[in-house]
Amino acid sequence: MGDLLADHLQAHDAVGLLLIDLATRRRMRLNGLARVQPDGTLLVQVQQVYANCPKYIQARDLVIEDMLPVVPSVQRTTLLTPEQQRWIAHTDTCFIATAHPERGADASHRGGNPGFVRIVDARTLLIPDYAGNTMFQTLGNIQANPRAGLLFVDFASGLLLQLSGTAEIGWDSAEAALFAGAERVLRFIVATAVELRGISPLRAATVTASSFNP
């Protein structure tokens, strides 16, 4: 089915989880070790737990839609399609996964006004890094290990787009100045794009922008 997590767990047990309530803008990060149980569930031995501030989270009331019988589809490419580029160029939310060579994996949230993620070309994205909780967990991981992943969710249709590749931190103040309120810029280079349809039943018809968005 193109489950990148299942593929990862075949060789590595480090995972990073992000628990987020979009309606209340509450989020919690859990990092630890995971094992797939005989019944297919995931058992996580938690090693780190910490809450984050609500900045840049767009509020959404999620509902579960009754999905008609549909065959899930998976599309793998090494470049972003024109449709995927148009979608990313209008998104207000994404999620980022990073890992430290010795300290384990981590998952975090990135948000802003629609269009805060910029398309450079079919394999390059620019993401502004705004002032956050000053823990620098994501940036520290990227500095030590550039391999990273991005997840984009279409809350209207349930479509998921998983990107794997590498990320680097742009310290150039002139580049950061291209994004209002940004302190730095993350440059993400796509190696693989996995588009999943007919997977998620979660939907949200309305959105309330974060008051912290630049």
Q: Give 125-168 pLDDT, tens digit per residue.
A: 999 999 987 778 899 999 999 999 999 999 999 999 999 999 99
Distance of CA 188 to the CA centre of its chain: 12
Residue 63 confidence (pLDDT): 94
Inter-residue contact 122 to 80 (CB < 8 Å): yes
Residue showing tokens 């998921």: 160
Count of other CB atoms within 10 angstroms of residue 37: 9
Identify the three-state secondary structure at position 123: coil
Contact 104, 32 (CB under 8 A): yes
With beta carbons less than 8 A apart as the criterion, state whether 165 and 148 touch.
yes
Contact between 33 and 45 under an 8 Å Cβ cutoff? The reply is yes
Report yes or no on whether pTM surpasses 0.85: yes
Six token digits for residue 4:
């990148």
Measure CA 186 to chain center.
13
At 4 the pLDDT is: 65
Is the pLDDT at 193 greater than 90? The verdict is yes
pLDDT in tens, 17-64: 999 999 999 999 999 998 888 887 888 999 999 899 999 999 999 999
- Domains of the chain, earliest start first: 57-203 (2.30.110.10)
pLDDT value of residue 3: 62
Nearest to 121 by CA among 62, 81, 155, 176: 81
* pLDDT, tens digit, 9 for 90 and up, residues 65-100: 887 767 789 999 999 999 999 999 999 999 999 999
What is d(CA 85, CA 93) in angstroms, rounded to the nearest whole number? 14
Provide the residue type at 193 as one letter: A
Nearest-angstrom CA–CA distance, 15 and 9: 9
Residue 172 has pLDDT above 90, yes or no: no
Structure tokens at 67: 């999905």
Q: Which helix (H) or strand (E) holds 16?
A: strand 14-21
